[in-house]
């Protein structure tokens, strides 16, 4: 078990440094050595993603570093997911995320989705050009992204659709993207706006009282 813990410390460092192959290799060794998937996620992967997020917030690292860490984390998580099927309370919350209808930009949205996943959320990433009916999945939080001023207004249509369907009171709504602002989020009735991936994770935890 001591060896497994040493390996998991290597996993933490691999994710922090954005080393995909090392993260995958160490995760496989840890599983083979009897480490519990949930412990690997909670004690090492989530903490590594929180650490890289904090470094981003303080200006020590930049978006490429976040992307590399998220990639390494996803590689490790892909090994663990099949081992966790059917487990209860594996996630701190469920997030449905997508770029709104008419908008095909997804780099920022995918980074946010990866950060959510790396920090303990179950994430349903619907991709781009997502209509309101697809976003109305069962979730704790619905996250919408837009990069164009011509598509950001569709966010209000989604919130209106949630109101009509009776789901608005059961789900939190977060919005983001280059043209989006806190004032815009408030004007359309969203619960929160964040400007970057790490801030999105912090806000999501607050919205579902998981911090």
Supply 208's token pair.
């579902």
Q: Does the structure show a pLDDT above 60 at 145?
A: yes
User: Model-level pTM?
Assistant: 0.81
Q: In whole angstroms, what is the distance from residue 140 CA to residue 121 CA?
A: 10
Supply 26's token pair.
């160490």
pLDDT tens for residues 158-171?
999 999 999 999 99
Average of per-residue pLDDT across 155-184: 95
Res 89: pLDDT = 61
Would you say how long the chain is, in residues? 211
Q: In whole angstroms, what is the distance from residue 148 CA to residue 21 CA?
A: 36
Res 159: pLDDT = 97
Are 12 and 47 in contact by the 8 Å Cβ rule? The answer is yes
Q: Does the structure show a pLDDT above 50 at 211?
A: no
Q: Does the structure show a pLDDT above 60 at 3?
A: no
Supply 62's token pair.
């930049």
Are 33 and 84 in contact by the 8 Å Cβ rule? The answer is no
Question: Among 18-22, 89-93, 188-192, which is the least confidently predicted range?
Answer: 89-93
Are 66 and 197 in contact by the 8 Å Cβ rule? The answer is yes
Average of per-residue pLDDT across 181-207: 95
Q: In whole angstroms, what is the distance from residue 167 CA to residue 79 CA?
A: 34
Average of per-residue pLDDT across 123-135: 95
Q: In whole angstroms, what is the distance from residue 115 CA to residue 104 CA?
A: 20
136 burial via Cβ count (<10 Å: 0-12, 13-18, 19+): middle
Res 68: pLDDT = 93
Share the mean pLDDT of the chain: 91
Q: In whole angstroms, what is the distance from residue 40 CA to residue 33 CA?
A: 12
Average of per-residue pLDDT across 130-159: 94
Q: Does the structure show a pLDDT above 90 at 182?
A: yes
Res 5: pLDDT = 58
Rg (CA), the chain: 18
**pLDDT band at 38; cut points 50, 70, 90:** confident
pLDDT tens for residues 53-104?
899 989 999 989 988 999 999 999 999 888 877 665 668 999 999 999 999 9
Res 42: pLDDT = 86
Strand segments, DSSP code E, in 63-190 are 94-99, 122-125, 141-145, 172-176
Average of per-residue pLDDT across 36-59: 90
Q: In whole angstroms, what is the distance from residue 62 CA to residue 115 CA?
A: 14
At what angle are helices 107-118 and 63-80 packed, to 10 degrees? Answer: 50
Helical ranges in 61-104 per DSSP H: 63-80
Question: Among 9-18, 110-119, 149-158, which is the least confidently predicted range?
Answer: 110-119
Please list, in sequence order, all residues whose beta carbon lies within 8 angstroms of the beta carbon of residue 198, skipping any fewer than 6 positions away.
53, 54, 56, 57, 66, 115
Residues pairing with 173 in the sheet: 142
């Amino acid at each position: 078990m001591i060896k497994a813990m040493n390996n998991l410390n290597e996993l933490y460092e691999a994710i922090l440094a954005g080393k995909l192959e090392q993260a995958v290799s160490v995760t496989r060794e840890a599983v083979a050595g009897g480490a519990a998937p949930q412990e690997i996620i909670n004690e090492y992967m989530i903490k590594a993603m929180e650490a890289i997020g904090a470094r981003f917030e303080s200006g020590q690292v930049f978006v490429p570093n976040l992307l590399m860490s998220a990639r390494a984390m996803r590689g490790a998580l892909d090994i663990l997911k099949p081992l966790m099927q059917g487990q209860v309370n594996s996630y701190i919350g469920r997030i449905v995320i997508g770029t709104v209808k008419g908008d095909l930009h997804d780099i920022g949205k995918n980074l946010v989705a990866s950060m959510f996943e790396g920090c303990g959320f179950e994430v349903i990433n619907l991709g781009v050009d997502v209509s309101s009916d697809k976003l109305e999945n069962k979730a704790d939080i619905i996250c919408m992204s837009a990069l164009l001023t011509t598509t950001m207004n569709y966010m209000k249509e989604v919130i209106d659709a949630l109101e009509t369907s009776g789901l608005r009171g059961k789900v939190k709504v977060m919005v983001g993207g280059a043209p989006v602002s806190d004032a815009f989020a408030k004007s359309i009735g969203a619960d929160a706006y964040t400007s970057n991936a790490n801030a999105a994770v912090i806000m999501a935890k607050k919205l579902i009282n998981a911090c």
